[in-house]
Amino acid sequence: MTDWIEIVALDEIPKLGARVIRTDMVDVAVFRTSDDQVFAVRDACPHKGGPLSQGIVHGTSVTCPLHNWKIDLASGEALGPDEGCTTVFSTRVENGKVFLALKADEAAA
């Protein structure tokens, strides 16, 4: 069963930036683009696990701060000749609040 969990107000995510949601199982990076689209991916680069939430965001992709891999936020796939993929999570924005879809066993109690 998918839970939609309210995590943060949209305004609390900097434009072209991200916030990190820590659960017991996984860290999720929630991104906001310059036109207010919201994406969420596991906060780990497919390359060497770097924190994507700390990268520079452009368009709908982010550049990992460790070794400059570019990750497409919608698909979680690495761009260009690099190959790899990180997990994506579904999000929803309602009344200025961001909701994240986590499977029941991924959510912290």
Partner 1 sequence: MKQKLVVIGNGMAGMRTVEELLKLEPDMYDITVFGNEPHPNYNRIMLSPVLAGDKQIDDIILNSLDWYRDNHITLRSGAEVVDIDRVGQKVHDSEGKEIAYDRLLIATGSRPFIIPVPGADKRGVIGFRDIADVDTMLSYAANHKNAVVIGGGLLGLEAANGLRTRGMNVTVVHLLDSLMERQLDKPASALLKATLEERGLSFMMQAQTAEIVGEDTVTGVRFADGSEVAADLVVMAVGIRPNITLAKDSGIHCERGIVVNDTMQTFDPKIYAVGECVQHRGDCYGLVAPLFEQAKVAANHLVQMGISRYEGSVTSTKLKVTGVDLFSAGDFNEGEGDETLVLQDPSQGVYKKLVIRDNKIKGAVLYGDTIDGTWYFTLLREGTDISAFRNTILFGQHDLGDAGHGDASASVMALPANAEICGCNGVCKGDIVDAIARKGLFTLEEVRSHTKASSSCGSCTGLVEGILAGTVGEGYDKAPSKKGMCGCTEHSHDEVIAAISKSGLKSMHAVREALDWKSPDGCASCRPALNYYLLAHWPGEYQDDAQSRFINERAHGNIQKDGTYSVVPRMFGGLCTADELRAIADVSDKYQVPEMKVTGGQRIDLFGVKKEDLPAMWRDLSEAGFVSGHAYGKAMRTVKTCAGKNWCRFGTQDSTGLGVQLEQLTWGSWMPHKFKLAVSGCPRNCAEATIKDFGVVCVDSGYELHVGGNGGIKVRVTDLLCKLDTEEEVLEYCAAFIQLYREEGHYLERTAPWVERVGLAHIKQQVLDDAETRKALRERFLFSQRFAQIDPWKARAQGEQAHEFTTLKIA
Residue placing its CB nearer to partner 1 in the complex, 85 or 97: 97
Distance, in Å, from the CA atom of 105 to the CA atom of 16, rounded to the nearest integer, reads 30
CA dist 38 and 22 (Å) reads 17
**Does position 36 bind partner 1 by CB under 8 A?**
no
Among 4, 36, 59, 74, binds partner 1 (CB under 8 A): 59
Decide if residue 20 touches partner 1 (CB under 8 A).
Answer: yes
Residue 11: what are its φ and ψ, rounded to 5°?
A: -65, -15
Instruction: Check binding of 17 to partner 1 (CB under 8 A).
Output: yes
Tokens of 76: 């979680």
Select from 37, 63, 75, 87 the one that contacts partner 1 (CB under 8 A). Answer: 63
> Which two three-digit tokens encode residue 19?
């916030």
With beta carbons less than 8 A apart as the criterion, state whether 24 and 34 touch. Answer: no
Residue numbers of the site for partner 1 (CB under 8 A)? Answer: 5-8, 12-17, 19-23, 27, 30, 33-34, 48, 50-51, 54-59, 63, 65-66, 68, 70, 80-81, 102, 107-108
